[in-house]
Structure 1
Amino acid sequence: MTDAKTLRRTVGFWGTALLPANGMIGSGIFALPAIMFAAVGNFAPWMMLLGALLILPLVYVFAALSTRFETSGGPPIYVHAAFGSFLGFQSGWTRFASGVVAIAANTHVAVAYLAVLFPVLNDPGMKAAAVISLLSSRRS
């Protein structure tokens, strides 16, 4: 097992600052543009920019926090340092749960798009089988 003091920081300030943007793009790139265009029309690109501006303070906070800690771990480490072990533990499980939900949501969007090409996936049973198949074939 690697000692925490030997871990190297290779992401850097800008890499850490752009991690939330990566999460937003990764989870929303497939479904959000069509939904947003249906809701606001040609104003949709401006809404995306507005959303980016609104999330910018959070990006800055995470970037600043990452420079103050020598260990890796993200939000659970920050919460542990500020509020103690119990809330740090809860933060870790919350982060894990949000990752699971994001994978499930992206898989459902992918199957919905595949259903356009393969109409058999519109059947609820086939849709469930496709989701389970895609999730079980995922390697971490």
Structure 2
Amino acid sequence: MAGSTLWQQQGYLSSARNAAGQQLFLFPDAATAKGAYDHLVADMSRCQSASRDVQAREGVPQDAVLSVTATITEGTAWSRRWTGAGGMTAGGVQTNHLYAVHQGDHLVLFQFDELAERPAPPHDTSTDAALLGALADLGAQN
């Protein structure tokens, strides 16, 4: 992420073989980390439109729907349900989840995908505020 001085990433794979990843970005100071978080939130406000543009270009249904599923102080969770268009994303029907928490000089991100081709029990987004809180607690340990 632009402006970060350190990046750590940990990947995971669910029992349904759906990918997940956690990332920690450290910045020179709290203001720079806050700016990165604010930039991410602004980018996510354009995600539905950008996703539909990609879908149109790739000739798949333009069905992307982005929702904010939870917020805490300096933390936001999103869910995007759509027909993926390939490239950096998996193709086919899926739901992508992204969580971002800013604390002091760092930003913690966590994301995972639910792919229709790899069925698993659906994620209950009513737990997203608790997940954001857990990420905030994790970030406070660094």
TM over 0.5: no
Q: Which has the higher helix share?
A: 1
If you compute each CA radius of gyration, which structure gives the higher value, 1 or 2?
A: 1
Normalised by the length of structure 1, the TM-score is: 0.27
Q: Which has the higher strand share?
A: 2
Normalised by the length of structure 2, the TM-score is: 0.26
Could you say which structure has the greater relative contact order, defined with CA pairs below 8 angstroms and 6 or more residues apart? 2
